[in-house]
Amino acid sequence: MCGVTCQLRTVGPGMSTLCVLRTRCFLRQVLPGLPAAMHRHYSLDVSAPLLRTQGYVDGRWVSAASVFPVLDPATGKEIARVSDCGPAEAKQAVDAAYKAFHSWKQCTAKERSILLRKWFDLLTLHKEDLAKLITFESGKPMRESLAEITYSASFLEWFSEEARRVYGDIVPSPAKDRKILLLKQPAGVASIITPWNFPSAMITRKVGAALAAGCTVVVKPAEDTPLSALALAELAEQAGIPAGVFNVVPCSREKTPAVGEVLCTDPLVAKISFTGSTTTGKLLLKMAADTVKKATMELGGHAPFIVFDSADVDKAVAGAMASKFRNSGQTCVCSNRFLVQSGIHDRFMEKLGKAMDAELRVGHGSEPDTTQGPLINTRAAEKVVQQVSDAVSRGAKVLKGGKRLDGSFMEPTLLANVTTDMLCMKEETFGPLLPVIRFNTEEEALAIANASNVGLAGYCYSQDVSQIWRVMEALEVGIVGVNEGLLSTPEAMFGGVKQSGLGCEGSKYGIKEYLEVKYVCFGGLKP
């Protein structure tokens, strides 16, 4: 039922000359500054074993009754057709995971560690092909896709080591005839629901911890980016992960609600972990409440980026570029609200504008000099356009960009004269829009930064140590970058406060999300 379409290669026996000409015309309109790109024919060329289009349940590749298309967001062309799994396949995956859990949890921590390490080695070995999958299904520039695979693999490496550090406790007893033991045990089957913006790393960050703890998983990848998840399943199988321990049920947008309901309500599921919007996270929590499941939620952000007068301007500009324009602004810890103090504001804006001109290149992600790929779909581009239009109507000035290009491409945009009543200051953008507010005092900046119902990440640039300490403690977020725009690493925890989520991922704390603590009172002992 499922297979790769003829359009896996932009030029081939299955693609007409007219289609090629249309693609060239599209790219001319989108990439006017990259004439060399007009002569390129974009093709997804990866080794056959990694290009999977069926679901993966109980160690088997399974077809569904129908398929759904996966599109290259840069060209709008279909690159594959994938099994459109529904509630029946989701239930089969849950059952398989539950069955496998009883044997997987009996494996020693060292055995689980060795298998996770083998999986890590395979990701590293196949990083080029895995990065190509990310670029073609999400639009991410190839250099960022390669970085994501390194990041994705690092979670398997980290949790392969953490698997052997799940320690219980022996607590001093108040009575001489008993001992108090606290055991750490795996929670059970975990439903893993992941987004499209990091289609590999968001899976391994969750699954690495789950498998290390002794849990089994069912992964529901985003409908835009199922190929990366299925490639991970192929490599998990090659690594020797037993059947039923790691399952993947891809599905279309239309079937997502029904599949999500199974994964959040089935009594055999003990835990759900979700990365995505706050709105969707609330719906999943409501569904999981009836069976009182453990839940980890990594939800929306609206990160403030504060530049104080004492900041090193060059470092602040570099941090802003890295934090805002990575993945074309489509990350949950992207800076959304830029607050620059009056004394440094004009210099910062001048240097930032020059950096945008010098460093940002819009194009297809497979082009080596591309730094800004497309947004994931046209709806995402429309949202950015709406925020720009709203800001301009309220007095903002467009200093760079501001225009939507063809398809889902958007010009990187810099706004000045921004005020707090503008839409871009009230809701997450998820696009290459950089709005700047001028402020006068530290208190004013903190009031603006904390005026949000979400709190995932925040950034501040200053060389005043006392100020750094005050701001770091006062920011109502779970993650703070001080003089640094890129924060994520497997060694550090990742999580937010307010409506940005529950629990955390990564670090030594991430594995605890998949563990239960059991108290054992061992009595009747002779003193």
Which of the residues are catalytic?
Answer: 298, 332
> Which 3 state secondary structure label does DSSP give 66?
coil
Instruction: Give the chain's radius of gyration (CA, Å).
Output: 24
Does an H or E element contain 400, and which?
strand 397-400
Question: Which residues make Cβ contacts (< 8 Å) with residue 249, sequence separation at least 6?
Answer: 55, 57, 85, 89, 90, 93, 218, 219, 220, 259
Determine the Cα–Cα distance for residues 99 and 191; give it in Å rounded to an integer.
15
328 φψ region: left (φ > 0), alpha (ψ -120 to 50), beta (else): left
Q: How far is CA 422 from CA 14, 244, 386, 395, 417, in A?
A: 48, 49, 11, 9, 11
φ and ψ of 296, to 5 deg = -120, 125
DSSP class of residue 494? B
Does an H or E element contain 68, and which?
strand 67-71
Does an H or E element contain 114, and which?
helix 109-125
Q: Please tell me the total number of residues recorded for the chain in this structure.
A: 527
CA 96, 99, 100, 105 torsion-angle sign: positive
The strand pairing partners of 193, in sequence order, are 220, 274
Report which residue type is found at 46: V
Determine the Cα–Cα distance for residues 63 and 522; give it in Å rounded to an integer.
51
φ and ψ of 57, to 5 deg = -135, 125
DSSP class of residue 480? E
Could you give the count of Cα atoms lying within 13 Å of 482 in the half-sphere of its Cβ?
A: 14
Per-residue b/e over 272-306, b at no fewer than 16 CB within 10 Å?
A: bbbbbebebbeebbebbeeeebbbbbbbbbbbbbb
Determine the Cα–Cα distance for residues 264 and 169; give it in Å rounded to an integer.
32
Could you give the count of Cα atoms lying within 13 Å of 98 in the half-sphere of its Cβ?
A: 13
Closest Cα partner for 109 from 168, 171, 57, 152?
168
